[in-house]
Structure 1
Amino acid sequence: MPFAVYVLGLAVFAQGTSEFMLSGLLSSIAGDLHVSLAAAGLLTSAFAVGMVAGAPLTALAGRTWPRRRALLLFLGVFVAVHVVGALTSSYGVLLATRVVGALANAGFWAVALVTALALAGPHRRARATAVVVGGVTVACVVGVPAGALLGELWGWRAAFWAVALVSVPAAVALLAAVPGGRPDGAPQAGARSELRALARPRLLLTLLVMALVQGATFCTFSYLEPLVTRVTGFGAGWVPVVLALFGVGSFAGVTLAGRLADARPDAVIGLGMTALAAGWAALALTAGHPAAALALVLLQGALAFGTGTALITRVFHLAPDAPTMAGSFATAAFNVGAATGPWLGGLALGAGLGFRAPVWVSALLMCLALAGTAALSVSSDAVGRTLSARRRPAPER
Structure 2
Amino acid sequence: MSLPLIALFLAAFAFGTTEFVIAGVLPQVAGGLGVTIPIAGYLVSGYAIGIALGGPLLTFATTNVARRTLLLGLIAAFTIGQVACALAPSFSAMLVLRVLIAIAHGSFFGIAMVVATGLVAPERRGFAVALILSGLTVSNVIGVPLGAAIGNYLGWRATFWAMGTLGLLASLAIVLWVPRTKNAAASRPDFRHEVRVLGRQQAWTSLILMLMLMLGQFVPFTYIAPLLQDVTGLDPAWIPWVLLLNGVGSTIGVFLGGRLADWKLMPSLIAMLALQVVALLTLYLAAPYPLPMVAAIFVWGALNFAIGTPIQTRILSWTADAPSLASSLIPSGFNIGIALAAFIGGTMLNAGLGYRSLPLLGAVALAVAVLVAFISYAWEKRSLAVPPVPANALAAE
Range class of TM-score, shorter chain:
0.7 to 0.9
Q: CA deviation at 1:258?
A: 1.3
Other-structure match for 2:189: 190
> 2:125 matched to which residue of 1?
125
1:92-131 aligned within 5 A: 92-131=92-131
Q: Cα deviations across residues 286-338 of structure 1 (Å, max 9, x unaligned)? A: 44543233222321221111100110011123223223333112222122112
CA 1:365/1:92 → structure 2, altered by over 3 Å: closer, same or farther? farther
Read off the aligned partner of 2:104 and give its amino acid letter: A
Query: What is the identity, as a one-letter code, of the residue corresponding to 1:345?
Result: G
Task: Give 1:88 deviation, angstroms.
Answer: 4.2
Distance in 1 (alpha carbons) for counterparts of 2:14 and 2:242: 20
Task: Give ranges in structure 2 of 5+ residues lacking alignment.
Answer: 386-397
Quote the residue 2:36 is aligned against: 35
**Residues 1:84 and 1:266: Cα distance change in structure 2 (over 3 Å):** same
In structure 1, the partner of 2:8 is: 8
* Deviation sequence 1:239-267 (CA, Å, 0-9, x none): 44233212211110011111121221123
Tell me how far apart the structure 1 counterparts of residues 351 and 282 of structure 2 sit (CA, whole Å): 22
Q: Which moved more, 1:267-276 or 1:202-211?
A: 267-276
The 1:383–1:221 alpha-carbon spacing in structure 2 relative to 1, beyond 3 Å, is closer
Instruction: Please identify, of 73-82 and 225-234, the stretch whose mean Cα deviation from structure 2 is larger.
Output: 225-234
Structure-1 residue corresponding to 2:50 = 50
Distance in 1 between residues matched to 2:90 and 2:287, nearest whole Å: 34
Measure the CA separation in 1 of the matches of 2:296 and 2:217. Answer: 13
TM score, norm. by length of structure 2? 0.84
Closer/same/farther in 2, CA of residues 368 and 40 from structure 1, 3 Å limit: farther
Aligned mates of 2:222, 2:350 — CA distance in 1: 14
CA distance in 1, matches of 2:29, 2:363: 30
Match of 1:62 in 2: 62
Residue by residue over 1:122-177, the C-alpha shift from the partner in whole angstroms, topping out at 9 and shown as x without a partner, is: 22110110111111111122112223333444554443333222222111111111
2:79, 2:167 within 8 Å by CA — same for their partners in 1? yes
Change (3 A) 1:221 1:85: farther
Q: 1:379 to 1:133 in 2, by over 3 A?
A: closer
Partner letter of residue 190 of structure 2?
A
Number of residues paired by the alignment?
383
Q: Which moved more, 1:280-289 or 1:28-37?
A: 28-37
Q: Would you say the 8 A contact 1:44–1:339 is kept in 2?
A: no
Q: Find the counterpart in structure 1 of residue 207 from structure 2.
A: 207
Please identify, of 106-115 and 160-169, the stretch whose mean Cα deviation from structure 2 is larger.
160-169
Q: Which amino acid aligns with 2:67?
A: R
Aligned match of 1:378: 375
1:35 partner amino acid: T
Q: State the shift of 1:200 in Å.
A: 2.3
The question of whether the paired residues in 2 share the 8 Å contact of 1:68 and 1:181 is answered with yes
**2:119 aligned counterpart, secondary structure:** helix
Measured in 2, the distance between the counterparts of 1:46 and 1:237 equals: 29
| Maintained 8 Å contact 1:52/1:333 | yes
Secondary structure of the residue that 1:190 maps to in structure 2? coil
The code of the aligned residue for 2:323 comes to P
Q: What residue is the counterpart of 2:365 in the other structure?
A: 368
Cα separation, 2, equivalents of 1:188 and 1:288:
59
Write the deviation string for residues 346-379 of structure 1: whole angstroms up to 9, x where unpaired: 444556655x26xx44541452343144134224
Cα pair 2:64 2:187 within 8 Å, conserved: no
- When residues 40 and 214 of structure 1 are mapped into structure 2, their CA distance, relative to the original with a 3 A threshold, is farther
Bigger shift: 56-65 or 18-27? 18-27
Q: Does residue 134 in structure 1 map to residue 134 in structure 2?
A: yes
Q: Is the Cα–Cα contact under 8 Å of residues 45 and 342 in structure 1 kept in the other structure?
A: no
Q: In structure 2, how many angstroms separate the alpha carbons of the residues matched to 1:221 and 1:66?
A: 38
The residue number in structure 2 matching 1:172 is 172
Indicate if the aligned counterparts of 1:140 and 1:247 stay in contact, CA closer than 8 A. Answer: yes
Q: Judging changes above 3 Å, is the alpha-carbon distance between structure 1 residues 387 and 255 closer, same or farther for their aligned structure 2 residues?
A: closer
Q: TM-score, normalised by structure 1?
A: 0.84
Letter in 1 for 2:267: A
Task: Work out the CA distance in 2 between the residues paired with 1:316 and 1:348.
Answer: 34
Question: Which amino acid counterpart does residue 190 of structure 1 have in structure 2?
Answer: P
Tell me: CA distance 1:255–1:379, structure 2 relative to 1, closer, same or farther (3 Å).
closer
Which amino acid in the other structure matches residue 374 of structure 1? L
Q: Is the 8 A contact 2:217 2:304 kept in 1?
A: yes
Displacement of 1:47: 1.8
Partner of 1:276: 276
> Please, which runs of 5 or more residues in structure 1 have no aligned partner?
389-397
Distance 1:27 1:340, change over 3 A: farther
Tell me, yes or no, if the aligned pair for 1:246 and 1:301 is still in contact at 8 Å: yes
The amino acid of 1:293's aligned partner reads M
| Of 83-92 and 207-216, the range deviating more from structure 2 | 83-92
